[in-house]
Amino acid sequence: MATFTRIPEGESPSITIHPSHKVAEIDKNIYGGFTEHMGRCIYGGIYDPGNPLSDENGFRKDVIEAFKELNVPVVRYPGGNFVATYHWLDGVGPKENRPSRPELAWIGTETNQFGTDEFMKWCELVGCEPYLCLNFGTGTLDEALGWLEYCNSDRNTYYANLRRKNGREKPYKVKYWALGNECWGPWQVEQLTKEDYAKKAYQWAKALKLLDPSITLILCGETGYSSWDHYVLKECVKWDVHGLGTENNTKSLIDMHSIHVYTADKEHLANATAPRSGERAIQMASALIDLARIENKVPPSIPKQKICFDEWNVWDPVRAPGEEGAEEQYTLSDALAVAVWLNAFVRQAKDMGMANIAQSVNVISPLMTSPEGLVKQTIWWPLLLFSKYMRGHAIALNVRAPEYTGRTNPAWIRAAIETPYLDCSAALGEDGLVNLAVANLSEERDYEVALEGLKADQVEVFVVTGENIHVTNTAGEQKVGIVESKWDGKGKFTFAKHSFTLLRWKE
């Protein structure tokens, strides 16, 4: 949590940090990833058989190393919009028998050479948990139950035995399952009305939890602030799973609510402050969850449903169309926007159960593969620093700084939430180190800031910046990276213009 006090330009800014004021535990899953059968994310991204950079499974070793470096805790799969026509059975068993199918989300051909068992093996190599999204388009409940049985059951039943036949004895124990993806979207195969979705999601959730009560089910929300979100939460956030309706029934049918927001703007400050809409979305979705629980009389003994922000990033679909693989080339301005996104997840830690950058490889991604190697785009660097250090507990801070007062995208940000030039969050790690993340969004001004609450004389400093807000990283040249230094903690700290800084010290 961070509070903000606006001061006029010219006055001296300050950040007051309260290391002993833990606000909420940061769920490590906010550093989750997302791999969809879209563009070059799977084929040519994580799976590239025949390439000398790949292992015996056909998995790109450099990509696996990058995921490990990022310490990605959970990865969503197989879509996205792709999942609305995906039949998981097409993607298991001997590869030569797997059918090729027309793919309707991105208008391609799906060869099914990479499927459930490949994804599970890949997750084991990366060291992350899988998060599977169910087909709410052309898929049936029977199929979904079959997939859950295939992945999680240790019984002597048909799909569990099919998994064994395909070479995997032990169940995969997939914890996270999403009840469809963007089912509200007009681009979706079998788009649903909120009424139809809520009815279907509730019934599917009931059946899935009867088969495996240990799973975490994620409801398909929209932006977090729409009538869809309001309606589906009201209809599905109930607690009487088996119709028992007693206080003793502590099972919740829905465990998290998924929301998606992408931001982008041609102008730097509108671009860098746009993720504040994502932060407000979290607050609004959280209020809608409260409302549903109040109206449905959900007892407080049932933990509040968290938000699963399972698609977020900077993306302009006109600039980088999905049908063409959405290969965004990110600038320093985008890296600062990503820092604001991640600050928002830390500040709103109380409500956040998971967040998944969309996506993890090649498609609107920090990582870009070529047959010869890997490029780490500008947005990789703040993501790496956050995932490495901004864990543990979010701690309270107050920021006194000037505010950007120009045009925002979307326009409603202006009246809904502040847009300070210094966008900050702070975390206290399990190692007892305080971590302060500060994005200085100004293109012109370095800010000399008094850090009240910092008592250390040894501070580690990590800075991500570049010559100007337009610079990008390419295979030939990495213009944006991390510069490390030390500071003695004396006087004020200067946060350079258009930079992201992470300061770390022992309390």
- Which CB atom, from 182 or from 423, has the smaller least distance to ligand AHR? 182
Q: Which of 182, 255, 334, 418 binds ligand AHR (CB under 6 A)?
A: 182
Q: Which of residues 30-49 bind ligand AHR (CB under 6 A)?
A: 36, 38
Cα torsion at 305, 308, 309, 311 (round to 10°)?
-150
Site mask, ligand AHR, residues 271-300, x = CB under 6 A?
Answer: ------------------------------
- Which CB atom, from 187 or from 412, has the smaller least distance to ligand AHR? 187
Q: In this structure, how many other beta carbons lie within 10 angstroms of the beta carbon of residue 271?
A: 23
What DSSP line would sit under 392-451, residue for residue?
SEEEEEEEEE-B--S--SSTTHHHHS--BSEEEEEEE-TTSEEEEEEEE--SS--EEEEE
- In whole angstroms, the minimum distance from the beta carbon of 203 to ligand AHR comes to 23
- In whole angstroms, the minimum distance from the beta carbon of 330 to ligand AHR comes to 15
Which of these segments, 75-83, 335-343, 426-434, 484-492, binds ligand AHR (CB under 6 A)? 75-83
- In whole angstroms, the minimum distance from the beta carbon of 34 to ligand AHR comes to 7
Q: Which of 80, 91, 139, 466 binds ligand AHR (CB under 6 A)?
A: 80
What DSSP line would sit under 300-335, residue for residue?
TTSPPPEEEEEEEEE--TTTS-GGGT--PPPBHHHH
Q: Which of residues 315-374 bind ligand AHR (CB under 6 A)?
A: 322, 358-359
- In whole angstroms, the minimum distance from the beta carbon of 86 to ligand AHR comes to 12
Contact present, 220 and 178 (Cβ < 8 Å): yes
Which residue in the block uniquely carries the two structure tokens 């400050």?
269
Catalytic residue among 149, 222, 279, 311: 311
- Which CB atom, from 223 or from 468, has the smaller least distance to ligand AHR? 223
Which residue of this chain has its Cβ atom nearest to ligand AHR in the complex? 80
Is residue 260 packed enough to be buried (19+ CB in 10 Å), middle (13-18) or exposed (0-12)?
buried
- Which CB atom, from 80 or from 91, has the smaller least distance to ligand AHR? 80
- Which CB atom, from 355 or from 426, has the smaller least distance to ligand AHR? 355
Contact present, 26 and 394 (Cβ < 8 Å): yes
Alpha helices, DSSP H, located in 212-264: 227-236
Which of these segments, 73-81, 151-159, 265-273, 446-454, binds ligand AHR (CB under 6 A)? 73-81
Among this protein's residues, is 190 annotated catalytic?
no
What is the bridge-based pairing of β-strands 373-376 and 393-401?
unpaired
Q: Which of 149, 229, 311, 334 binds ligand AHR (CB under 6 A)?
A: 311
Does 420 sit near ligand AHR (CB under 6 A)? no
Contact present, 412 and 17 (Cβ < 8 Å): no
Residues in the chain: 507
Q: In this structure, how many other beta carbons lie within 10 angstroms of the beta carbon of residue 483?
A: 11
Measure CA of the first residue to CA of the last residue in the chain; give whole Å. 19
Which of these segments, 45-53, 77-85, 205-213, 376-384, binds ligand AHR (CB under 6 A)? 77-85
Which residue in the block uniquely carries the two structure tokens 């903000």?
4
What DSSP line would sit under 155-192, residue for residue?
SSSHHHHHHHHTT--S-----EEES-SSTT-TTSTT--
User: DSSP 3-state helix, strand, coil percentages of the chain (rounded to 5)?
Assistant: 30, 30, 45
Which of these segments, 14-22, 76-84, 267-275, 444-452, binds ligand AHR (CB under 6 A)? 76-84
d(CA 329, CA 377): 7
The one-letter code for the residue type at 103 is E
Among this protein's residues, is 467 annotated catalytic?
no
d(CA 274, CA 149): 41
Alpha helices, DSSP H, located in 187-275: 194-211, 227-236, 268-273
Q: Which of 135, 181, 356, 369 binds ligand AHR (CB under 6 A)?
A: 181
- Which CB atom, from 183 or from 390, has the smaller least distance to ligand AHR? 183
Catalytic residue among 182, 222, 279, 418: 182
- Which CB atom, from 58 or from 130, has the smaller least distance to ligand AHR? 130
What is the bridge-based pairing of β-strands 101-103 and 493-495?
unpaired
- Which CB atom, from 46 or from 459, has the smaller least distance to ligand AHR? 46
| Count of residues of this chain found to bind ligand AHR when the rule CB under 6 A is applied | 11
- Which CB atom, from 362 or from 472, has the smaller least distance to ligand AHR? 362
Q: Which of 29, 35, 81, 252 binds ligand AHR (CB under 6 A)?
A: 81
- In whole angstroms, the minimum distance from the beta carbon of 172 to ligand AHR comes to 23
- Residues classed as catalytic: 182, 311
Site residues (vs ligand AHR, CB under 6 A): 36, 38, 79-81, 181-182, 311, 322, 358-359
